[in-house]
Every structure is written in C-alpha cells, then in structure tokens.
C-alpha cells in the first residue's frame, strides 16, 4: 500500500492525467494518503476541480472551503519558480512531476517556454530537495515517447527532463528518482481524438495529417497504472515504458467516423511531427529489460547500475509504433473498450470532469 499515510505532491495536477491520478489515489486502492497536493498555476482549473470534489454545480454554491484542512489540497504555483517548489514539496513523501508544455506546435514556436517548464521545472524539484535536504522518498517524472530520438522541441525538452531526473540519484542518495515514458493518451486534453470528435460533431471534414502515420494508444487509466507500477517497483534511475498497442491515424479516424457520411481530408505532416513514434530506441534496447507488462530502461550511468546479476535484454531493436499495428477492427474494439466512440464521448467527458 504505497500511498498509505503519505503526502503526495502532483505538479500539473489539473491536467488530464493529473486529475485521474488524484482521483484514483483518493479511492485508497493503494492505501489512504495523508494528503494529496494539487500544484498548478491555473486557478480556474483548480477551482473547477475543487468544486467537482465538493459536488457543487455553480461557483456561487461554494461559500467557504477548508483547503489546508482537507486531504485534497490545492496550491497555486509554478514549477519554474524555485520558491513555489520549495514551499510545496518540503513536507512531501512522493512527488509526481506531471507539469509540462506538451503541445508540439506551441513548443516549436516558443522553445524557450518549453525549456523553462519541462527542463527547469524538473531541475527546480531536484535542486530544492538537494539544497534543503527535504525528506522526499520518491520523485517520478512523466515523460513521452517524443523524448525518444527527439526531432521536436517538446521531445527534446522531455528528453533533457529524463536525464535531469535520472542523474539526480547520484547527488541525492536518500531520494529515489524515476521516470515513466508513454505515448498518446486517449482523450487527453489536446490529443487527436477530442479533435476528431469535434470535427465529427460539426459534420467534418476530419483532418488527417498523413494516413500512414502511426501512434501508440493508451487510456488515461493505463497511464496512471504505469505511474503506480513504477512507484511500486522501479529502482533508482529506471524509466518504465508500457507495452502499448498502436494504430494508424487513418484507422483512428475511420473508427470514430464509423458509418457517418463525413469526409476525411489529408493536410500533411506538421512541423516537428514524426511518421512513427518510438518508445524505446535501438540504443536503449541494449539496456532495456522486462518488468511484468512493462519495459524498464535501465540507467546508463555506472553509479546507478545495481549490483544484482545482469538481466537479459527484452528487445533486440527499437520499440516503434510501426511494429505491431492494430487493424481497423482492432482499433474500433480498443476505442469501444475505453468508451471513446462518438456516441459515448459526452458521458466520458463528463466523467473526466468529476
């Protein structure tokens, strides 16, 4: 029961994954926490999230809330600000760093902003623990398949974040620093499926960049499962990767359109996009091992290699979204399983907001 009696800080806790993570932690499935702190810079999203837990409908329903007296606590702050980070994590046992600039085009236009959030934010967490000797047990950073052999700013900054977190183990021996890396999260804010849903509701066209483009597909709960598993099992410096299925963008579009008379329009690849995403590179395959339903990328730094017998490599080459593709029927089944077909999306979106 890894969360029993623990104080958990979630940076970027009002994001899609952050909200599901917080909700599941509060169910007590892995132990009842002492405190869950949602840390972000968006007061409106925090207010909406707090209201949903108070079962309120309108802002005027709320007269007073006892923020610091509740298990679920909200803090306004920015990972870019060192003082904000120090204030938030000084009593934390577990830190989940989900704060990020993650939109590929936005990061291409504003790379400095991506560096400040994705790199300096992680650096501030490490620095605060090191300089103040905060007794944080574990820091886990949420990364992306775009960090593997990156070609865009978002991926590059996330790749640097992984290295910042991994190397932090050397100078902070009392804290375990680990990462998770996963692909497209179905129905997360800003992902392709909500875009397709909007286009279908408006009778099209549904815009596809390149029909043959492939993407890993993971539900929000599977993303949280990956974080939970890494928190429970990962050793210092390891990066956990789910063995997720993948599909072509055209099959995702066709699955969502179903039998509706809606045009599909090919628009071409966008700046910074890959045809196929890679979760584990061929270089990383040389130190990638199997951990149940996950791969674990072992750290390269010799100081972080663990003394047990070497484990066999789980891969002989890179793990790409083009390796094992779902066909159209398989894509439809996956989307139905996660209730993401158009006829179910309204109730699904309402559930996400609760």
Residue 112 has what pLDDT?
Answer: 98
Average pLDDT, rounded, for the chain: 89
Render pLDDT for 275-305 as a digit per residue (tens, 0 to 9).
999 999 999 999 999 999 999 999 999 999 8
Residue 69 in domain: yes
CATH number of domain containing 218: 3.40.50.720
Per the structure, the complete domain to which residue 277 belongs is given by 7-353
Where residue 169 falls (left for φ over 0; alpha for ψ -120 to 50; beta otherwise) is alpha
Q: Can you tell me which residue has the tokens 């405190």? A: 35
Look at 138-142, 217-221, 340-344 and tell me which has the smallest mean pLDDT. 340-344
Phi-psi region of 324 (alpha: psi -120 to 50; beta: other; left: phi over 0): beta
* Active site (catalytic) residues: 146
Mean pLDDT of 55-75: 65
How many residues in total does the chain contain?
Answer: 354
pLDDT surpassing 80 at residue 62? no
pLDDT, position 321: 93
Q: Are 49 and 136 spatial neighbours (Cβ–Cβ below 8 Å)?
A: no
Query: What mean pLDDT is predicted for residues 249-267?
Result: 93
Residue 343's pLDDT band, with cuts at 50, 70 and 90, is low
pLDDT reported for residue 44: 93
3-state SS assignment for residue 275: coil
Q: Is the pLDDT of residue 344 over 80?
A: no
Residue 175: inside a domain, yes or no? yes
In a domain? residue 135: yes
Dihedral of alpha carbons 289, 291, 296, 298, sign = negative
CB 68 within 8 Å of CB 38: no
pLDDT surpasses 90 at 180: yes
**176-182/206-208 β-pairing:** unpaired
Classify residue 1: in a domain, yes or no: no
Q: Look at residue 60 and tell me whether its pLDDT is greater than 50.
A: no
**Number of Cβ atoms within 10 Å of the Cβ of 181:** 26
Spatial separation of the C-alpha atoms in residues 235 and 306, rounded to whole Å? 9
pLDDT tens-digit profile of 138-171?
999 999 999 999 999 999 999 999 999 999 999 9
User: Coil, helix or strand for 258?
Assistant: coil
pLDDT of 320 over the 70 cut = yes
In a domain, 235, yes or no: yes
Query: Cα–Cα distance between 280 and 327 in angstroms, integer?
Result: 22
Phi, psi angle pair for 349, to nearest 5°? -65, -40
What total of structural domains would you count in the chain? 1
- Return d(Cα 154, Cα 168) in angstroms, integer: 21
Determine the pLDDT at residue 324. Answer: 84
Q: Look up the pTM and report it.
A: 0.89
Q: Would you state the pLDDT for residue 64?
A: 47
pLDDT tier for residue 122 given thresholds of 50, 70 and 90: very high
Residue 73 has pLDDT above 70, yes or no: yes
Q: Is residue 178 part of a domain?
A: yes
pLDDT at 68: 62
pLDDT tens readout for residues 13-30: 999 899 999 999 999 999
Is residue 242 helix, strand or coil? strand
- pLDDT at residue 139 in the model: 98
Average pLDDT over residues 233-261: 94
Average pLDDT of the residues in 75-93:
97
Does residue 198 contact residue 304 with C-beta atoms inside 8 Å? no
What was the pLDDT predicted at 192? 80
The yes-or-no verdict on residue 182 having pLDDT over 80 is yes
Count Cα atoms within 13 angstroms, Cβ side, for 343.
6
CA distances in angstroms from 4 to 36, 59, 88, 158, 285, listed in the order given: 11, 32, 20, 30, 35
pLDDT band for 190, please (50, 70, 90 cuts): low
Chain centre distance of CA 248:
21
Say if 267 falls within a structural domain: yes
Q: Which residue has the tokens 């890894």?
A: 2
Average pLDDT over residues 80-92: 96
- Strands of the sheet with 176-182, listed across from one edge: 72-76, 35-40, 7-11, 94-97, 138-144, 176-182, 239-242, 294-297, 288-291
pLDDT at residue number 151: 93
Residue 90 gets which letter from DSSP? T
The residue ranking higher by pLDDT, 159 or 204, is 159
CA-nearest of 14, 17, 36 to 25 is: 36
> 168: which residues sit within 8 A by CB, 6+ positions away?
126, 129, 130, 139, 175, 177
């Amino acid at each position: 029961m890894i969360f029993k009696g623990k104080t958990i800080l979630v940076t970027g806790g009002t994001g899609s994954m952050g909200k599901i993570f917080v909700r599941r932690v509060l169910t007590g499935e892995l132990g009842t926490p002492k405190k869950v702190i949602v840390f972000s810079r968006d007061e409106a999203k925090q207010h909406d999230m707090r209201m949903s837990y108070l079962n309120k409908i309108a802002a005027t329903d709320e007269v007073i809330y006892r923020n610091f007296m509740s298990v679920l606590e909200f803090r306004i702050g920015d990972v870019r600000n060192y003082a904000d980070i120090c204030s938030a994590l000084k009593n934390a046992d577990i830190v989940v760093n989900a704060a990020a600039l993650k939109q590929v085009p936005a990061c291409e236009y504003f790379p400095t902003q991506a560096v400040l959030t994705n790199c300096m934010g992680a650096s501030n967490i490490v620095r605060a623990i090191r300089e103040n000797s905060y007794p944080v047990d574990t820091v886990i950073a949420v990364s992306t398949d775009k960090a593997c052999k990156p070609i865009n700013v978002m991926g590059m900054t996330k790749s640097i974040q992984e290295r910042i977190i991994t190397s932090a183990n050397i100078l902070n021996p009392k804290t375990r620093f680990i990462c998770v890396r996963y692909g497209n999260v179905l129905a997360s804010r800003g992902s392709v499926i909500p875009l397709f849903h909007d286009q279908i509701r408006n009778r099209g066209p549904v815009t596809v960049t390149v029909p043959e483009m492939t993407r890993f597909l993971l539900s929000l709960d599977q993303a949280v499962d990956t974080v939970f598993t890494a928190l429970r099992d990962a050793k210092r410096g390891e990066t956990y990767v789910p063995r997720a299925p993948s599909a072509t963008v055209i099959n995702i579009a066709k699955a969502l359109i179903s039998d509706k008379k809606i045009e599909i329009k090919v628009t071409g690849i966008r700046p910074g996009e890959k045809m196929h995403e890679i979760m584990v590179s061929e270089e990383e395959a040389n130190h990638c091992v199997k951990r149940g339903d996950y791969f674990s990328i072992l750290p390269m730094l010799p100081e972080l290699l663990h003394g047990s017998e070497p484990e066999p490599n789980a891969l002989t080459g890179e793990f790409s979204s083009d390796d094992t593709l779902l066909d159209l029927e398989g894509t439809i089944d996956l989307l139905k399983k996660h209730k993401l077909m158009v006829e179910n999306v309204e109730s699904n979106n309402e559930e996400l907001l609760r």
